[in-house]
Structure 1
Amino acid sequence: MAEGGSDQTLVSGVAGRYATALFELASEANAIDAVSADLNSFSAMIAESADLKRLVTSPAFSAEEQVAAVKALLAAAGISGIAGNFIGFVASKRRLFALPGMISGYRNLVAEAKGIVSAQVTVAEEPSAKRLDEIRATLKAVAGKDVDVAIKVDPAIIGGLVVKMGSRMVDASLKTKLNSIRLAMKEVG
């Protein structure tokens, strides 16, 4: 775990406090990766189900309804242990609305502890395995540490790529280059 309060720069607020507590608990139990896997599973369930997303975000459900529904979902998904108890606890405290932020905060703490930098790379079409390896190697060389690369496909950028890594962003898309040329031509004319 990072010293000197650098965790505060990664996560803040209610979600940050919960994420930090969960990270410390998982770390003490040597279960960081297991908790990550369970949280990723539950996060995927939220993304795939409009009903679950509504349950998590709507204040219309009582704490009892949320706890009962979440416990049933956790059992069906085979999520138990620290992550299952944590999600149940969050539901009982009526904080499910903040769960996505808590999961994101936990991921940030894990990445920091493991020395991994996250990067989002937007490309016009799905890259080949070779191209993806080249992107990873280049980003690792720039960052000086391992990089967790999330690929987003957006045909609107036409070609090239857009990389967001930490607070840095490099936009080498054809769309941006064409817009720059268009703007330069307007200024000349």
Structure 2
Amino acid sequence: MISEIVYSKYSQAMFNIANEQHKIEQYDNELKTIRDTLQMNPSLQKFLVHPRVPERVKKHIIFEIFADDVSPLVLQFMYVMIDRRREGALAAAIDGFIDLSRAAQNIEVARIHVIKPLSAKEEAELVAGLEKLTGKKIEPLYTADPSIIGGIVIRIGDRLIDGSLLRQLQDMEHALLQANVTNEVTDAK
């Protein structure tokens, strides 16, 4: 709870500045770049949270890695977190900003599980349909999931759309078992 309060203050402060400057989308994209880089490089995360690495060295590495890809304000956001020894909450603060950004832009995340990647046309049609269904812009996050056997499973917030072959087979099995129980009851008379 305490760490959530800490990183949410940083997220909110960064969001407020982005909103004032009318740069929510720009900073959102830049912070996603940082988040993705941190996720792909666990050694960088360990380096940033290591207590024996001086702050100036951490800032220098951050500058070297991100200066060409992000604005000075986004760099300053990371520097402030380093100065205040909040490096461990950096990823959470970025995610908090992204959540605030999505809400402000009326964007909903759709977690989409498919057996194999969709074509660009299929993706565009799916996103358009989901946007029509929800009345919001959709940010799709695709996951290849062979366990669904076929079809598609979509989670948007607390809504679940399960069009998987696995689910259809389970429904069929349930219906057959129910029919079998009904037949056994009627045969017993």
Q: TM-score, normalised by structure 1?
A: 0.80
| Superposition CA RMSD, Å | 2.3
Which of residues 101, 106, 113 is equivalent to 2:97?
A: 106
Name the residue aligned to 1:117: 108
State the distance in 2 between where 1:167 and 1:70 align: 39
Q: Unaligned 5+ residue runs, structure 2?
A: 182-189
Q: CA 1:178/1:55 → structure 2, altered by over 3 Å: closer, same or farther?
A: farther
Note the 1:10-159 alignment, pairs <5 A. Answer: 13-56=5-48, 58=49, 61-62=50-51, 65=54, 68-78=57-67, 79-159=70-150
Find the structure with the greater CA-based Rg: 2
State the distance in 1 between where 2:33 and 2:82 align: 17
- Secondary structure in structure 2 of the residue aligned to 1:22: helix
Give the AA of the match of 2:98.
Answer: R
Question: Does the Cα contact within 8 Å between 1:139 and 1:147 map onto a contact in 2?
Answer: yes
Of 17-26 and 61-70, deviating more is 61-70
State the distance in 1 between where 2:175 and 2:58 align: 57
Shift of 1:108: 1.5
Q: Unaligned 5+ residue runs, structure 1?
A: 1-11
State the distance in 2 between where 1:27 and 1:75 align: 27
- Per-residue Cα deviation, 1:69-88 (whole angstroms, up to 9, x for no partner): 24313333223411111111
State the distance in 2 between where 1:66 and 1:176 align: 52
Identity %: 25
